[in-house]
């Protein structure tokens, strides 16, 4: 894309739930979570350019089938500023849609950051952000974050270790409300409070391995393909941790080093040419 004068670009990094403990449910049906969230280098991109009116263009490998209509979360994010100013917004969709890695929420958060710069207006407050989606507040930064409440209680923890990661999406859509409904119990244990310092990568990784994603079991019942992804990761050399992110179907794995990570990604692409496979690492803060 040719840079447009005055345009602002913001990365919408993929959001990975390294853990996701469901600890309760509010009277309005939303679930209480305790989740450790990391952002990856791979992600969508939002670009906003000066314009008289508000418009949205969607491009990129996963643009097909996405509506650029006024119900798009990107437009909803723009409307939170409560202004009638215009902007030509471009969303470059590099991430599979509805796949548990925050795509729509990350795009909405990047739109808020970009338009705040373009229009020189403050970012709308967290209680407004959460109305766009429970994951929007956490996607406002790229920090390793412990997320509690319904996604609105955030402890920012600074930079994550670099992480040799692979993300895999098998191309099945899993509706989030249906996954939450499939939970056998909604009052599971929270994570322990004693998370080791992320700068001590080995101890920290062991701690993360001991956590869970409570949505993995119901998601695998709805989409057994997720089990196939997990099994395919588990036989790869150097694989330290495999887990589903969010409500699925994307799973991630953490590898010992970049060489075993890259070899595993090649193996997975050969064995499953129809899967989306992305080698990545933690985004810089
Ligand atoms: O907020 P968001 O649109 O991302 O959530 C999608 C759906 O996931 C909600 O309508 C709700 O059914 C479920 N959800 C939940 N508890 C959360 C987050 C999402 O029950 N904390």
Catalytic status, residue 186: no
Mean pLDDT score, 229-247 = 98
Token pair for 83: 């202004």
**According to the model, what pLDDT value does residue 3 have?**
64
**According to the model, what pLDDT value does residue 251 have?**
98
Mean pLDDT score, 1-12 = 84
Give the C-alpha separation, 78 to 66, whole Å: 18
Beta-carbon contacts of 220 under 8 Å, excluding residues fewer than 6 positions away, are: 226, 227, 244, 248
Token pair for 13: 């990094």
Give the C-alpha separation, 167 to 252, whole Å: 4
DSSP 163: -
Query: Of all helices (H) and strands (E), which one includes residue 34?
Result: strand 31-49
**C-beta of residue 163 within 8 angstroms of C-beta of residue 254:** yes
> Residue with the nearest Cα to atom 9 of ligand 1?
177
Which of 100, 180, 183, 218 to mutate for ligand 1's pocket (most ligand atoms within 8 Å of CB)?
180
Token pair for 264: 């595993």
**According to the model, what pLDDT value does residue 65 have?**
78
Among residues of the chain, what percentage have pLDDT more than 90? 95
**According to the model, what pLDDT value does residue 63 have?**
96
Give the C-alpha separation, 104 to 71, whole Å: 12
pLDDT of 267 strictly over 90? yes
Q: Is 275 in the pocket of ligand 1 (CB under 6 A)?
A: no
- The predicted-structure confidence for 126-136, as pLDDT tens digits, reads as follows 999 999 999 99
**CA angle (205 as vertex; 201, 206 as ends), nearest 5:** 120
- The predicted-structure confidence for 100-151, as pLDDT tens digits, reads as follows 999 999 999 999 999 999 999 999 999 999 999 999 999 999 999 999 999 9
Q: Is 161 in the pocket of ligand 1 (CB under 6 A)?
A: no
> Residue with the nearest Cα to atom 11 of ligand 1?
177
Give the C-alpha separation, 185 to 192, whole Å: 19
- The predicted-structure confidence for 54-96, as pLDDT tens digits, reads as follows 999 999 999 997 999 989 999 999 999 999 999 999 999 999 9
Catalytic status, residue 15: yes
Q: Is 201 in the pocket of ligand 1 (CB under 6 A)?
A: no
Query: 99 C-alpha to center of ligand 1: Å?
Result: 13
- The predicted-structure confidence for 197-232, as pLDDT tens digits, reads as follows 999 989 999 999 999 999 999 999 999 999 999 999
Q: Is 180 in the pocket of ligand 1 (CB under 6 A)?
A: yes
> Residue with the nearest Cα to atom 12 of ligand 1?
177
Q: Is 11 in the pocket of ligand 1 (CB under 6 A)?
A: no
Which residue, among 41, 30, 42, 34, has the nearest Cα to 17 in the 3D structure?
34
Provide the pLDDT confidence category of residue 1 given band limits of 50, 70 and 90: low
Mean pLDDT score, 39-56 = 98
Query: 31 C-alpha to center of ligand 1: Å?
Result: 7
Specify the pairing of strand 54-59 against strand 87-92: parallel
**According to the model, what pLDDT value does residue 5 have?**
81
Mean pLDDT score, 219-246 = 98
Q: Is 15 in the pocket of ligand 1 (CB under 6 A)?
A: no
pLDDT of 2 strictly over 70? no
Q: Is 177 in the pocket of ligand 1 (CB under 6 A)?
A: yes
Q: pTM for this one?
A: 0.96
């Amino acid at each position: 894309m040719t840079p447009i004068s005055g345009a602002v670009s913001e990365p919408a990094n993929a959001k990975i739930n390294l853990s996701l403990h469901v600890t309760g449910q509010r009277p309005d049906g939303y679930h209480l979570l305790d989740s450790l969230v990391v952002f990856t280098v791979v992600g969508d991109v939002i670009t906003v350019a000066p314009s008289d009116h508000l418009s949205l263009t969607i491009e990129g490998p996963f643009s097909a089938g996405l509506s650029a209509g006024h119900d798009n979360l990107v437009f909803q994010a723009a409307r939170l500023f409560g202004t009638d100013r215009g902007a030509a917004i471009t969303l470059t969709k590099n991430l599979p849609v509805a796949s548990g890695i925050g795509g729509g929420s990350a795009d909405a958060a990047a739109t808020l950051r970009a338009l705040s710069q373009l229009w020189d207006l403050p970012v709308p407050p967290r209680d407004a952000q959460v109305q766009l989606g429970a994951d929007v507040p956490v996607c406002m930064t790229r920090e390793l974050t412990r997320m509690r409440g319904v996604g609105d209680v955030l402890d920012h923890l600074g930079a994550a270790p670099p992480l040799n990661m692979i993300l895999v999406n098998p191309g099945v859509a899993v509706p989030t409300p249906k996954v939450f409904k499939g939970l056998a119990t909604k009052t599971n244990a929270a994570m322990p409070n004693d998370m080791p310092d992320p700068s001590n990568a080995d101890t920290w990784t062991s701690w993360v391995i001991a956590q869970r994603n409570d949505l993995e079991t119901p998601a695998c019942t709805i989409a057994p393909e997720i089990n196939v992804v997990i099994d395919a990761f588990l036989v790869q050399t150097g694989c330290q941790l495999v887990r589903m992110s969010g409500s699925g179907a994307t799973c991630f794995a953490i590898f010992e080093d970049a060489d075993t990570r890259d070899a595993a990604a090649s193996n997975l692409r050969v064995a499953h040419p129809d899967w989306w496979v992305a080698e990545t690492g933690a985004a810089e803060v």
